[in-house]
A = this chain, B = another copy of it.
Amino acid sequence: MSDQKPNLPSLHTVLTPQLLDLYEIKDSVVVIIDVFRATSTIATALYNGANKVIPVDSPELCIEVGKQTGGITAGERDGKIIPGLSYGNSPSEYPRSFIENKTLVITTTNGTKLLHMALKQGAKNIITGSFPNLTKVVEFIKSQNAPVILGCSGWKNKFNIEDVLFAGAIIEEVKANFDIHCDSSFMANQLYRQQKDHLTEYIKTVTHWHRLAAYGLEEDMLYCISKDTAPSLPIFKEGALINQA
Protein backbone atom coordinates (compact mmCIF):
# COMPACT_ATOMS: atom_id res chain seq x y z
CA MET A 1 0.00 0.00 0.00
CA SER A 2 2.87 2.33 0.66
CA ASP A 3 4.36 2.36 -2.83
CA GLN A 4 3.90 5.64 -4.63
CA LYS A 5 0.94 5.54 -6.99
CA PRO A 6 0.84 9.20 -7.96
CA ASN A 7 -1.88 8.88 -10.59
CA LEU A 8 -4.40 7.44 -8.20
CA PRO A 9 -6.52 9.47 -5.80
CA SER A 10 -5.70 9.45 -2.09
CA LEU A 11 -7.61 7.65 0.64
CA HIS A 12 -7.55 8.52 4.33
CA THR A 13 -9.28 7.09 7.36
CA VAL A 14 -10.44 9.55 10.01
CA LEU A 15 -10.61 7.68 13.30
CA THR A 16 -13.05 10.01 15.08
CA PRO A 17 -14.95 13.22 14.22
CA GLN A 18 -12.55 15.13 16.48
CA LEU A 19 -9.78 14.50 13.92
CA LEU A 20 -11.73 15.53 10.80
CA ASP A 21 -10.24 19.03 10.67
CA LEU A 22 -6.78 17.53 10.07
CA TYR A 23 -7.83 16.28 6.65
CA GLU A 24 -8.62 17.84 3.29
CA ILE A 25 -12.36 17.30 2.97
CA LYS A 26 -13.10 19.73 0.17
CA ASP A 27 -13.94 17.93 -3.08
CA SER A 28 -13.50 14.53 -1.44
CA VAL A 29 -15.95 11.68 -1.30
CA VAL A 30 -16.74 11.16 2.37
CA VAL A 31 -18.08 7.85 3.68
CA ILE A 32 -19.84 8.27 7.03
CA ILE A 33 -19.45 5.10 9.10
CA ASP A 34 -21.50 4.37 12.21
CA VAL A 35 -21.74 0.59 12.26
CA PHE A 36 -23.60 0.36 15.60
CA ARG A 37 -26.18 1.22 14.36
CA ALA A 38 -27.05 4.40 12.48
CA THR A 39 -25.52 3.72 9.09
CA SER A 40 -26.61 0.07 9.19
CA THR A 41 -30.17 1.18 9.86
CA ILE A 42 -30.04 3.85 7.14
CA ALA A 43 -28.80 1.31 4.56
CA THR A 44 -31.58 -1.06 5.60
CA ALA A 45 -34.41 1.48 5.54
CA LEU A 46 -33.40 2.71 2.08
CA TYR A 47 -32.90 -0.80 0.75
CA ASN A 48 -36.38 -1.61 1.97
CA GLY A 49 -37.83 1.24 -0.04
CA ALA A 50 -37.85 4.30 2.22
CA ASN A 51 -38.14 7.45 0.09
CA LYS A 52 -35.45 9.14 2.09
CA VAL A 53 -33.76 9.29 5.45
CA ILE A 54 -33.26 12.65 7.13
CA PRO A 55 -30.50 12.54 9.76
CA VAL A 56 -30.87 15.14 12.52
CA ASP A 57 -28.78 15.82 15.57
CA SER A 58 -31.39 16.27 18.32
CA PRO A 59 -34.72 14.80 19.41
CA GLU A 60 -36.30 18.29 19.22
CA LEU A 61 -35.31 18.69 15.58
CA CYS A 62 -36.44 15.14 14.90
CA ILE A 63 -39.94 15.96 16.14
CA GLU A 64 -39.98 19.24 14.20
CA VAL A 65 -38.80 17.70 10.91
CA GLY A 66 -41.14 14.75 11.44
CA LYS A 67 -44.06 17.18 11.58
CA GLN A 68 -42.90 19.12 8.50
CA THR A 69 -42.34 16.06 6.36
CA GLY A 70 -44.92 13.64 7.70
CA GLY A 71 -41.97 11.32 8.32
CA ILE A 72 -41.49 8.61 10.87
CA THR A 73 -39.46 9.84 13.82
CA ALA A 74 -36.80 7.60 15.30
CA GLY A 75 -34.14 7.73 17.94
CA GLU A 76 -32.92 5.98 21.05
CA ARG A 77 -31.16 6.88 24.20
CA ASP A 78 -29.81 4.24 26.55
CA GLY A 79 -31.47 1.54 24.49
CA LYS A 80 -34.99 3.02 24.69
CA ILE A 81 -37.05 5.10 22.25
CA ILE A 82 -36.60 8.77 23.08
CA PRO A 83 -39.82 10.28 24.53
CA GLY A 84 -41.70 12.15 21.79
CA LEU A 85 -40.29 9.96 18.99
CA SER A 86 -42.08 6.93 17.55
CA TYR A 87 -39.45 4.30 16.73
CA GLY A 88 -35.97 3.19 17.67
CA ASN A 89 -32.59 2.82 15.98
CA SER A 90 -32.81 -0.87 15.20
CA PRO A 91 -32.55 -1.95 11.54
CA SER A 92 -35.09 -4.67 12.35
CA GLU A 93 -37.77 -2.01 12.86
CA TYR A 94 -37.66 -1.05 9.18
CA PRO A 95 -38.79 -3.95 6.98
CA ARG A 96 -40.22 -3.21 3.53
CA SER A 97 -43.78 -3.84 4.77
CA PHE A 98 -43.39 -0.87 7.11
CA ILE A 99 -40.94 1.62 5.62
CA GLU A 100 -41.59 1.45 1.84
CA ASN A 101 -42.38 4.89 0.37
CA LYS A 102 -42.02 6.59 3.74
CA THR A 103 -39.60 9.19 5.05
CA LEU A 104 -37.51 8.31 8.07
CA VAL A 105 -36.32 11.14 10.32
CA ILE A 106 -33.63 9.70 12.55
CA THR A 107 -31.67 11.33 15.34
CA THR A 108 -28.18 10.03 15.96
CA THR A 109 -25.35 11.81 17.68
CA ASN A 110 -22.02 10.58 16.40
CA GLY A 111 -22.84 9.92 12.73
CA THR A 112 -25.01 12.98 12.11
CA LYS A 113 -22.42 15.27 13.64
CA LEU A 114 -19.75 13.91 11.31
CA LEU A 115 -22.02 14.22 8.30
CA HIS A 116 -22.74 17.87 9.03
CA MET A 117 -19.04 18.58 9.53
CA ALA A 118 -18.19 17.01 6.17
CA LEU A 119 -20.97 18.97 4.49
CA LYS A 120 -19.71 22.24 5.94
CA GLN A 121 -16.18 21.54 4.75
CA GLY A 122 -17.29 21.15 1.15
CA ALA A 123 -17.24 17.40 0.52
CA LYS A 124 -17.92 16.48 -3.11
CA ASN A 125 -20.23 13.66 -2.14
CA ILE A 126 -21.31 12.21 1.18
CA ILE A 127 -22.49 8.63 1.42
CA THR A 128 -23.08 6.36 4.41
CA GLY A 129 -21.54 2.94 4.79
CA SER A 130 -21.77 -0.16 6.92
CA PHE A 131 -21.35 -3.89 6.41
CA PRO A 132 -24.93 -4.34 5.09
CA ASN A 133 -24.07 -2.14 2.07
CA LEU A 134 -20.30 -2.74 1.81
CA THR A 135 -20.18 -3.66 -1.88
CA LYS A 136 -22.30 -0.69 -2.94
CA VAL A 137 -19.94 1.64 -1.07
CA VAL A 138 -16.90 -0.02 -2.65
CA GLU A 139 -18.32 0.27 -6.16
CA PHE A 140 -19.24 3.91 -5.64
CA ILE A 141 -15.90 5.12 -4.35
CA LYS A 142 -14.04 3.22 -7.08
CA SER A 143 -16.17 4.99 -9.69
CA GLN A 144 -15.59 8.54 -8.49
CA ASN A 145 -11.96 9.22 -9.36
CA ALA A 146 -11.72 11.52 -6.34
CA PRO A 147 -9.96 11.50 -2.98
CA VAL A 148 -11.80 9.45 -0.38
CA ILE A 149 -12.25 10.05 3.34
CA LEU A 150 -13.48 7.12 5.41
CA GLY A 151 -15.05 8.91 8.37
CA CYS A 152 -15.51 6.84 11.52
CA SER A 153 -18.19 8.24 13.81
CA GLY A 154 -16.75 6.70 16.94
CA TRP A 155 -18.40 7.16 20.30
CA LYS A 156 -18.48 10.64 21.81
CA ASN A 157 -15.44 11.51 19.71
CA LYS A 158 -13.52 8.47 20.94
CA PHE A 159 -12.14 5.74 18.74
CA ASN A 160 -14.45 2.79 18.06
CA ILE A 161 -13.24 -0.57 16.81
CA GLU A 162 -16.35 -1.52 14.83
CA ASP A 163 -16.20 1.61 12.68
CA VAL A 164 -12.51 1.24 11.89
CA LEU A 165 -13.08 -2.45 11.17
CA PHE A 166 -15.54 -1.45 8.47
CA ALA A 167 -13.09 1.12 7.12
CA GLY A 168 -10.60 -1.75 6.91
CA ALA A 169 -13.14 -3.86 5.01
CA ILE A 170 -13.57 -1.09 2.44
CA ILE A 171 -9.79 -0.66 2.11
CA GLU A 172 -9.40 -4.40 1.53
CA GLU A 173 -11.54 -4.04 -1.59
CA VAL A 174 -10.25 -0.74 -2.95
CA LYS A 175 -6.58 -0.53 -2.04
CA ALA A 176 -5.38 -1.17 -5.58
CA ASN A 177 -7.39 1.86 -6.72
CA PHE A 178 -5.99 4.45 -4.33
CA ASP A 179 -2.65 5.95 -3.30
CA ILE A 180 -2.68 5.33 0.46
CA HIS A 181 -0.17 7.02 2.79
CA CYS A 182 -2.09 6.97 6.01
CA ASP A 183 -1.26 5.01 9.14
CA SER A 184 -4.92 5.01 10.20
CA SER A 185 -5.81 3.25 6.95
CA PHE A 186 -2.95 0.76 7.28
CA MET A 187 -4.05 -0.04 10.83
CA ALA A 188 -7.72 -0.33 9.84
CA ASN A 189 -6.93 -2.74 7.05
CA GLN A 190 -4.55 -4.81 9.20
CA LEU A 191 -7.15 -5.08 11.94
CA TYR A 192 -9.79 -6.17 9.45
CA ARG A 193 -7.51 -8.75 7.83
CA GLN A 194 -6.61 -10.09 11.25
CA GLN A 195 -10.24 -10.48 12.32
CA LYS A 196 -12.27 -11.00 9.13
CA ASP A 197 -12.56 -14.75 9.41
CA HIS A 198 -14.01 -14.58 12.90
CA LEU A 199 -15.85 -11.26 13.00
CA THR A 200 -18.76 -12.68 14.99
CA GLU A 201 -16.53 -13.72 17.87
CA TYR A 202 -14.27 -10.69 17.64
CA ILE A 203 -17.04 -8.12 17.70
CA LYS A 204 -18.13 -9.39 21.09
CA THR A 205 -14.90 -8.08 22.60
CA VAL A 206 -15.35 -4.39 21.71
CA THR A 207 -16.64 -1.80 24.16
CA HIS A 208 -19.74 -0.88 22.16
CA TRP A 209 -20.86 -4.52 22.07
CA HIS A 210 -20.94 -4.57 25.85
CA ARG A 211 -22.78 -1.26 26.03
CA LEU A 212 -25.53 -2.38 23.62
CA ALA A 213 -25.65 -6.00 24.79
CA ALA A 214 -26.75 -4.65 28.17
CA TYR A 215 -29.91 -3.51 26.34
CA GLY A 216 -30.42 -6.92 24.70
CA LEU A 217 -29.30 -5.75 21.26
CA GLU A 218 -27.03 -8.67 20.35
CA GLU A 219 -29.11 -9.72 17.31
CA ASP A 220 -29.09 -6.15 16.01
CA MET A 221 -25.33 -5.97 16.26
CA LEU A 222 -24.79 -9.29 14.51
CA TYR A 223 -26.95 -8.00 11.67
CA CYS A 224 -24.87 -4.80 11.59
CA ILE A 225 -21.71 -6.79 10.82
CA SER A 226 -23.32 -8.92 8.10
CA LYS A 227 -22.13 -8.07 4.61
CA ASP A 228 -24.35 -6.93 1.75
CA THR A 229 -27.64 -7.76 3.39
CA ALA A 230 -29.05 -4.32 2.47
CA PRO A 231 -27.30 -3.29 -0.77
CA SER A 232 -28.39 0.33 -1.01
CA LEU A 233 -26.24 3.40 -1.65
CA PRO A 234 -27.37 6.20 0.69
CA ILE A 235 -26.14 9.48 -0.78
CA PHE A 236 -26.75 12.85 0.84
CA LYS A 237 -28.64 15.30 -1.40
CA GLU A 238 -30.60 18.39 -0.40
CA GLY A 239 -30.72 17.55 3.26
CA ALA A 240 -31.57 13.87 3.01
CA LEU A 241 -30.06 10.49 2.25
CA ILE A 242 -31.60 8.84 -0.80
CA ASN A 243 -30.86 5.47 -2.34
CA GLN A 244 -28.75 5.84 -5.47
CA ALA A 245 -28.11 2.10 -5.91
On A, residues with C-beta under 8 Å from B are: 1-2, 15-16, 18-19, 22, 156-161, 164, 181-184, 186-187, 190-191, 194, 205-208, 210
Give the residue name and chain of the B residue nearest to A4 (CB): B210
Are B186 and A194 in touch, CB under 8 angstroms? no
Alpha-carbon distance between A159 and B19 when the two chains are bound, in angstroms: 9
Given that A16-B19, A158-B19 are known contacts, is A181 also in contact with B164, CB under 8 Å in the complex?
A: no
Integer count of this chain's copies in the complex: 2
Alpha-carbon distance between A181 and B187 when the two chains are bound, in angstroms: 20
Interchain residue pairs with CB less than 8 A apart (5): A15-B15, A159-B184, A181-B210, A183-B208, A186-B207
Alpha-carbon distance between A183 and B161 when the two chains are bound, in angstroms: 6
Alpha-carbon distance between A190 and B205 when the two chains are bound, in angstroms: 12
Alpha-carbon distance between A171 and B211 when the two chains are bound, in angstroms: 22
Given that A16-B19, A18-B18, A194-B190 are known contacts, is A2 also in contact with B159, CB under 8 Å in the complex?
A: no
Alpha-carbon distance between A221 and B110 when the two chains are bound, in angstroms: 37
Please tell me which one of the listed residues B157, B160, B161, B186 contacts residue A205 in the complex, with CB atoms under 8 A apart: B186
Are B157 and A182 in touch, CB under 8 angstroms? no
Across-interface contacts of A164 in B (CB, < 8 A): 187
Alpha-carbon distance between A186 and B158 when the two chains are bound, in angstroms: 13
A121 to chain B, nearest CB (A): 16
A211 to chain B, nearest CB (A): 9
Are B187 and A159 in touch, CB under 8 angstroms? yes
Are A19 and B18 in touch, CB under 8 angstroms? yes
